Amino acid sequence: MRLATAEDTRAYGARLAALLRPGDLLVLSGPLGAGKTTLVQGIAEGLKVRGPITSPTFVIARVHPSLHQGPPLVHADAYRLGGDLEVDDLDLDASLEESVTVVEWGEGLVEGLSEDRLEIHIDREAGDEARLVTLRAVGARWADTPSDPPED
């Protein structure tokens, strides 16, 4: 999917949130500046959680409680983590069942948290603000889910 602007990326995240439920794990990958946090901002908006949503690079993980009796959003960043032991220290599995968990830079590190996950790769087009988003559904949870979130 091609998203022309950062606002389109946020809107896509908000639409994606309509498909999410407690226990969902999303693993985001892509280069620096691709729009991973921008996508999470849209997901947070769609889930109606307390913000602001900023890159958790230095905090590593933040919990954003729901403002409307929905699941909390756990937003983590594995960019600075050195391996499985440091991921284990985050205890993401402790809140996985009742939260929507989104991990930036989690590829190769957090897949063991759940047999079911949505892997989202975001890339930038050269010389453009556009983002290219690729979804990969893993596990039975996502077997019957459309690959493109519904329009508003």
| Residues 4-18 pLDDT 10s | 999 999 999 999 999
Structural domains in the chain?
A: 2-141 (3.40.50.300)
Rounded Cα distance between 142 and 56, Å, is 26
For the entire predicted model, the pTM comes to 0.88
At 111-140, the pLDDT tens digits run 888 999 999 999 998 778 899 999 999 999
Bridge partners, residue 38, by sequence? none
If you search the block for the tokens 């699941």, which residue do you land on? 71
Sheet holding 25-29, edge to edge: 2-3, 131-138, 117-124, 25-29, 100-104, 73-77, 61-64
Predicted confidence (pLDDT) per residue in 35-79, tens digit: 999 999 999 999 999 988 887 665 577 889 999 889 999 998 877
User: Which residues sit opposite 49 in a β-bridge?
Assistant: 66
